[in-house]
Amino acid sequence: MSASAVHSLWTTAATAAEPISKIDTPKIEYGQLSPTLIVVGAAVIGVLVEAFVPRKHRYYAQLFVSVVALVAAFAAVVALAEGGYGTTKARIAAMGAIAVDGPALFLQGTILLAALVGLFTFAERRLDPEVHGNRVDSFAAQAASVPGSDSEQAAVKAGFATTEVFPLLLFAVAGMLVFPSANDLLTFFIALEVFSLPLYLLCALARRKRLMSQEAAVKYFLLGAFASAFTLFGIALLYGYAGSVSYGTIAQVVDGTVQNVNPALADTMGNDALLLVGAAMIVMGLLFKVGAVPFHMWTPDVYQGAPTPVTGFMAAATKVAAFGALLRLLYVVLPGLRWDWRPVMWGVAIVTMLGGAIVAITQTDIKRLLAYSSIAHAGFILAGVIATTPDGVSSVLFYLAAYSFVTIGAFAVVTLVRDAGGEATHLSKWAGLGRRSPLVAAVFAVFLLAFAGIPLTSGFAGKFAVFKAAAEGGAAPLVVVGVISSAIAAFFYIRVIVLMFFSEPRPEGPTVAVPSPLTMMAIGVGVAVTLVLGVAPQYFLDLANQAGVFVR
């Protein structure tokens, strides 16, 4: 091929008569992007509050801004859903970057509600005894000071508080809102980074076990950086394959339905290696985020080391966002590759369900136990993803909504059980808790039964929906593995309940702190959602069904 021929692929000669076309003004549908814009705006206001508001007023100012923003954003999601944007008016907004459709709105609503409940646990200030006359929360007095140093002691004495956690939470939520609704690979990657970076910081801010917390943050950051690099490399390969980062265009190239192919693209379109390796790398990055085996190694260490309110928020909201993005990628971009990705996902789902359930039995720390339990749940949700039917999508949406509230509630209960060193997370300390504090033990038992999938809890309704969709989608053997894993998992949940109610309390055992109304509200919402979705799930299943159609 001559040099001039190669050159003509990239440029066309402009004739004198032909005017140069203008660059179009970007057309942004602000109303349809309002939930994300409200949260981003509030996060920026939160940063300004840190800069300009006197220290003693910051906590209340930040809490007010965050609550108002999350409630307003949720109201915006509901308004969009009422306006038909989840069904008949579903569309691609922001110059093709964002999809406004049923799954996006359902997941955004779930993330915002989970973030609001998580925010209450962030703001809790009554669990630790007062220090130098100041109430303290779960976060370090001054994040920049070295653990145990004089500057840290001075910060504690002065009553400092890391109120930056509120804008960090809002930035993370903003990224999570965009992540499942991204409609091109660049928006997808930017959303991934926007919600990951604040979480890396939040994990390092524990007040009590600061070194363990910082170690957790470093592990999470390093492994997260690897996962992001794989994702970015996958995006580059898919762009090389399809000549576009837009989901719709890539899907057309994969299906072979793309119109007017230019010669440069024709050469790469036949190269399936680019497609397969690129898709595998992006899916790998998403499986890391949801904590699926074999990309789960960060989960137990980070869940154990991070401040418990952060663990609860992260365990719930990150899963919702990442599974939403995974669903959109597999159902919108790669349905033409179904025969390639389904067998791989089968394998991942099986080892995730069994791995999470079996390793959880050996755990002695309640936060690590819940971490392995979350890995097993990622496997159950993957069973719904594999169904590749409309029921598969709606069952995953329902499961994510049910799971997120149970998780935040369970971690909120963990913050209440304390001894002289802070939270008492070793299982032996929980012995006899049912005699000491029957109400707290009973609430925790409800959450554990929901995790185990016992009837009349949201966990049962969620598992039933996911397994039914998987069986109808031709993955019956997967359901058998899922039921066996659930039985194994039920063993260690029931073991904790037996430990709480049928063991003698130890004289030197922990106390149960009396929380403020904020944590009570978080736990109350968790229990209410768990029971309502368990006893009367039909309305919410119908809602998930209506929201189960992706726009392309």
Q: Flag whether pLDDT at 127 surpasses 80.
A: yes
Q: Which of 130-139, 172-181, 521-530 has the lowest mean pLDDT?
A: 130-139
Rounded distance between C-alpha atoms, residue 214 and residue 71, angstroms: 32
Rounded distance between C-alpha atoms, residue 420 and residue 186, angstroms: 48
β-strands 417-419, 422-423 pairing: antiparallel
CA atoms within 13 A on the CB side of 408: 39
Rounded distance between C-alpha atoms, residue 268 and residue 255, angstroms: 14
Residue 6's pLDDT band (boundaries 50, 70, 90)? Answer: very low
pLDDT tens column, 362-372? 999 999 999 99
Q: Per residue in 90-99, is it b (16+ CB within 10 Å) or e — as a string?
A: bebbbebbbb
Q: In Å, how far from its chain's centre is CA 145?
A: 29
Q: Flag whether pLDDT at 264 surpasses 90.
A: no
Q: Nearest 10 degrees: CA dihedral of 444, 446, 447, 449?
A: 120
- Give the residue ranges of DSSP H helices in 361-389: 366-386
Rounded distance between C-alpha atoms, residue 518 and residue 135, angstroms: 14
Q: Are 187 and 166 in contact (CB under 8 A)?
A: no
pLDDT tens column, 389-411? 888 999 999 999 999 999 999 99
Q: What Cα–Cα distance (Å) separates residue 346 from each residue in 69, 292, 459, 467, 511? A: 40, 12, 22, 13, 44
Residue 97: closest CA among 279, 246, 248: 246
**Cα-trace Rg, the chain:** 24
Q: Flag whether pLDDT at 341 surpasses 70.
A: yes
Q: Flag whether pLDDT at 1 surpasses 70.
A: no
Task: Quote the mean pLDDT of the chain.
Answer: 89
pLDDT in the model for residue 20: 63
- Going by the DSSP 8-state scheme, the letter that residue 429 receives in this structure is G
pLDDT in the model for residue 19: 58
Q: Are 113 and 74 in contact (CB under 8 A)?
A: yes
Global confidence as pTM: 0.92
DSSP string over 489-522: HHHHHHHHHHHHHHSPPPTT--EE----HHHHHH
Q: Which of 162-166, 200-204, 294-298, 547-551 has the lowest mean pLDDT?
A: 547-551
296 token code pair: 């789960």
Residue 459: closest CA among 448, 445, 473: 448
Burial class of residue 368 (count of CB atoms within 10 Å of its CB; 0-12, 13-18, 19+): buried
488: left (phi over 0), alpha (psi -120 to 50) or beta: alpha
Non-local CB neighbours of 539 within 8 Å, separated by 6+ positions: none
Rounded distance between C-alpha atoms, residue 100 and residue 86, angstroms: 7
pLDDT in the model for residue 131: 83
**436 vs 117: which has the higher pLDDT:** 117
Q: What percent of the chain has pLDDT over 90?
A: 64
pLDDT tens column, 208-239? 889 999 999 999 999 999 999 999 999 999 99
Please compute the mean of the pLDDT values over residues 28-36 and round it to a whole number: 92
